Amino acid sequence: MRTFIFLLLFASAVTTQAATVTIDFEEVAPTSGMSPITVESKGYEFYATTSFGNPPDIGVSSNGIYAYGENNFGYCETCSATIVMERLDSGVFSVNSLNSIGAGSFSGTLNGGGTVNLSLGSIGTGDWLNLTQLVVYDANTFDDNYVHIDNINVSAVPVPAAVWLFGSALAGLGWIRRKPTT
């Protein structure tokens, strides 16, 4: 009986999965306009902005969310386009994959503090886990900047539930391993 209870508790802890969703923006009404905009999709919030544009164009379409600004004067030392992603409930998430065009850099704010520079080559591993914020950024000294992301596959990390179930499994293991007294 003890073994059965332990296996049940352990299976519950192991099978607790993070809720995985793909954000493709297809359910969001298309918009286009001036900087900044905020878009919500599938429990996440996206904030897009450009620092300069003639004209700036920020929007969302069935192809994703984008920020675009250009300088018709040529050299633009202060041009930037940014998209920030966070969970609506301020929770933790992991990025498993995403499509990106024009992004110069990615950075993340880690759960518990600290920031990390991210690379598309390591997406879905390491520093792409346990984020509270993802920033997609492009800044250059040329005549335009453009950031576009779509098909973002993310996992919401249910830390409290996972910790509770794993703790129960460990308690069950301790209970089973306890030597009976005579």
Where exactly are the structural domains of the chain?
24-156
**Range of lowest pLDDT (6-10, 90-94, 169-173):** 6-10
The pLDDT value given to residue 110: 93
- Domain over 24-156 is classified CATH 2.60.120: yes
pTM for the model = 0.73
Residue 14, phi then psi, degrees to nearest 5: -70, -35
Residues 182 and 90: their CA atoms lie apart, in Å, by 52
Reported residue count of the chain is 182
Residues 163 and 166: their CA atoms lie apart, in Å, by 5
The pLDDT value given to residue 173: 61
Q: Which residues contact 142 (CB under 8 A, 6 or more apart)?
A: 75, 76, 79
1 and 160 Cβ atoms separated by less than 8 Å: no
Question: What pLDDT digit, counting tens, does each position of 135-179 carry?
Answer: 998 866 555 677 889 999 999 876 555 555 556 666 666 666 665
Question: What pLDDT digit, counting tens, does each position of 113-124 carry?
Answer: 899 988 887 887
